Structure 1
């Protein structure tokens, strides 16, 4: 089967969706499919070399932005678009993505979802023509539902079934200012009628999006995100210096404030001597003010020397990051659709402590690799971390369950097998 997977790049930092897409395409190729991944907006940032680096950026983020803001830009010569869409220029532009205003975010999101009715359509239309003449897939896979503005034209003009992955888009759309939030959700529901199948990363998120998109249960499948567990070594933490880890984007929404506060409380208790905190993950210039605020809070608590910061690690350094963790927690403040970071921790032999909401209870039940605490509750998180850090036997049991659970339920091969079934059903 020839599969075309369209995915947005991030330009300069890793994200869970990008890593999942990369692992999925590689695993589908291992199953014998002619699967290619075409980047949109910005260059891809993956743990390893992209499966098909010869496929260039099909729709450039700068050109899209200018077409949204300046309608006459569509009449500019193509060489201007090609010049703007050079990877080095897009990577440079991505460094300023955090400076985008709320209005710009809303306009860009809605513009893409409006498809043929939006100002961005001339650029997207060229993508449709490329799919018709060069891509020629049997099925099209969209990395997330914010790309669904393409679906009506693909269904009408190309007759190719489209499978759309759901990867936490509600947490973005619900933060848009009005009227863009309401209009974007309305466009999502219209576009959803032109999708063959949706793929959710958890039962929790399947229920959430089935209701929000107004689609039937028959259109919704669940495929857990997966990874190559053999790429991660088993952690060997120093028993004399227990380490609490965090690995996700350094933002409030991922619960970093909650974890820092829980760490300060735990350190004050004195029940786990010499406990350290190690923070890693993506960080953009827009996150600096927030991170500096946390650093000041830790300094005031006298804990600066016991906290390490490791932003924007490559794959090799990420694997090393996990190897000296005793436990890990990313206590997200919202209902996370999945959370690849906890699977990475469990694949590294690191037990996790997660809030009892979103997909976390489901994923921990499926793997056995962690424990739950009350959501957005600093003391509850500190209690759970304290118990796990003090109980070596429980920690070892959870570690072993997590390692086996990842191999059984969250491997890249298992993800591709389940995704393959969805693609086959979409083709009819």
Structure 2
């Protein structure tokens, strides 16, 4: 198959959706499919071989200028090349391109308006370039925030359109209410422009049926999968590794990911539940707007007399990530919202690390399938602390979870399984489109 897969860059951040889109495209390419992974907004940042195209459409600087300054909506294309070059976008990404939803409401709405939005010139540039390329068998959008492209691309290319669903409700929840409602109305108005929606978990099927008003028979789960190259085949057991009981966190450092809950649970574990000789190790991207959040957590840990037991490692590349996860006895990312993905949970279990996750979002189905962790009542630091302490006191159970998780990820969440399912679903969509065209 020839597949046009659009992916949305996230500036200088390792983005779970970008990692997933790239991993799937890379595996499909290995299998002989012709995949064009086309970035929008910014170049993508991945921690493995990046197979995305070198071009960037809807360049982050251009769409920002077109949103703010009417003059830039009419400038000639050759003029736009000054700031549409990937190198220029990359250089400015750290300070000029925000990914904070509270600052991007108007832009989100405008892009959803497609040919009627301020970025219509970007849409026309994208379509003009795609018409010079071999026609794909189908188009895959990365999320419903770009569903405004579905009808124009379908009309221009004459091909079916799929739309992945992988956590965009969190972004929409961060918009001011009026903008959120308008964005949702625009997305719902475009639902019939998409042939098939592909949520990444069973949880997200149930959620999106109501949230986007999509008929259930138009959604099929395309589960996450991770590239296991470089992950240990036989992870080291905690009992054979020297050092303290290490509780870990690997995710964006942001309130919705729940690091403050984990810090509180760690305090309870140390002060009241008999855990001695412990550490709290944290890694992941920290956006400028969340630095004060981390500083406050560090202040509380110092106040509790636990500051020397805490380390923030920053954002990690692939080798550093695997090494970091291998030092943990248990991982928890106690998100305050129902996360439909849980990529870091899969990565931890692949390294033989048991996980303790809130009982919402995709976590229950992931842990039921893999057997690599336990759940607790969401937003309850005391319940999280109880489960962490229970693992500390029961090394046999911890070892069982460790082995089950490592095996379960390889059985159910390897990138090859994701690619198998993608090929199956893409084939169905292409075949249905051909039947419709003939009839």
Which band: TM-score by shorter chain? over 0.9
TM-score w.r.t. structure 2 length? 0.94
Q: Distance in 2 between matches of 1:65 and 1:207?
A: 34
CA contact 1:14–1:282 (8 Å) conserved in 2? yes
1:359-378 equivalences under 5 Å are 359-378=362-381
| Aligned-pair Cα RMSD in Å | 1.6
Mean Cα displacement is larger for which, 235-244 or 14-23? 235-244
Mean Cα displacement is larger for which, 313-322 or 129-138? 129-138
- The CA deviation at 1:171 is 1.2
Structure 2: runs of 5 or more not aligned: 433-439
Q: Residue in 2 aligned with 1:210?
A: 209
- The CA deviation at 1:240 is 4.0
CA distance 1:98–1:131, shift in 2 (3 Å): closer
Note if 1:186 corresponds to 2:185.
yes
CA contact 2:143–2:168 (8 Å) conserved in 1? yes
CA contact 2:135–2:157 (8 Å) conserved in 1? no
SS at match of 1:5: strand
- The CA deviation at 1:101 is 7.6
SS at match of 1:36: strand
Which digits, 9 at most, give the CA deviation of each residue in 1:2-58, with x for residues without a partner? 111110112212011111111101111122211121111011100122124x53112
Q: Residue in 2 aligned with 1:51?
A: 51
Q: Residue in 2 aligned with 1:123?
A: 122
SS at match of 1:55: coil
CA contact 2:279–2:309 (8 Å) conserved in 1? yes
Mean Cα displacement is larger for which, 228-237 or 325-334? 228-237
Mean Cα displacement is larger for which, 108-117 or 235-244? 235-244
CA distance 1:124–1:236, shift in 2 (3 Å): farther
CA contact 2:273–2:389 (8 Å) conserved in 1? no
CA contact 2:244–2:278 (8 Å) conserved in 1? yes
SS at match of 1:278: strand
CA distance 1:222–1:188, shift in 2 (3 Å): same
CA distance 1:149–1:362, shift in 2 (3 Å): same
SS at match of 1:222: coil
Which digits, 9 at most, give the CA deviation of each residue in 1:142-161, with x for residues without a partner? 11111111011122232211
Q: Distance in 1 between matches of 2:102 and 2:76?
A: 28
Selected match of 2:256 from 253, 257, 272: 253
Q: Distance in 1 between matches of 2:328 and 2:220?
A: 34
Q: Residue in 2 aligned with 1:232?
A: 231
CA contact 1:197–1:426 (8 Å) conserved in 2? yes
Q: Distance in 1 between matches of 2:399 and 2:345?
A: 17
Note if 1:382 corresponds to 2:385.
yes
CA contact 2:54–2:86 (8 Å) conserved in 1? no
Which digits, 9 at most, give the CA deviation of each residue in 1:174-219, with x for residues without a partner? 2211321111000101111100111111111011112222222221
Note if 1:336 corresponds to 2:339.
yes
Mean Cα displacement is larger for which, 232-241 or 397-406? 232-241
SS at match of 2:104: helix
Aligned residues: 427
Q: Distance in 2 between matches of 1:409 and 1:194?
A: 31
Q: Distance in 2 between matches of 1:103 and 1:255?
A: 19
Q: Residue in 1 aligned with 2:19?
A: 19
CA contact 1:236–1:324 (8 Å) conserved in 2? no
Mean Cα displacement is larger for which, 125-134 or 379-388? 125-134
CA distance 1:55–1:98, shift in 2 (3 Å): closer
- The CA deviation at 1:93 is 2.8
Q: Distance in 2 between matches of 1:103 and 1:263?
A: 31
Q: Residue in 2 aligned with 1:196?
A: 195
Note if 1:399 corresponds to 2:406.
no
SS at match of 1:89: helix
CA contact 2:114–2:120 (8 Å) conserved in 1? yes
Q: Distance in 2 between matches of 1:406 and 1:203?
A: 17
Q: Residue in 2 aligned with 1:40?
A: 40
CA contact 1:98–1:284 (8 Å) conserved in 2? no
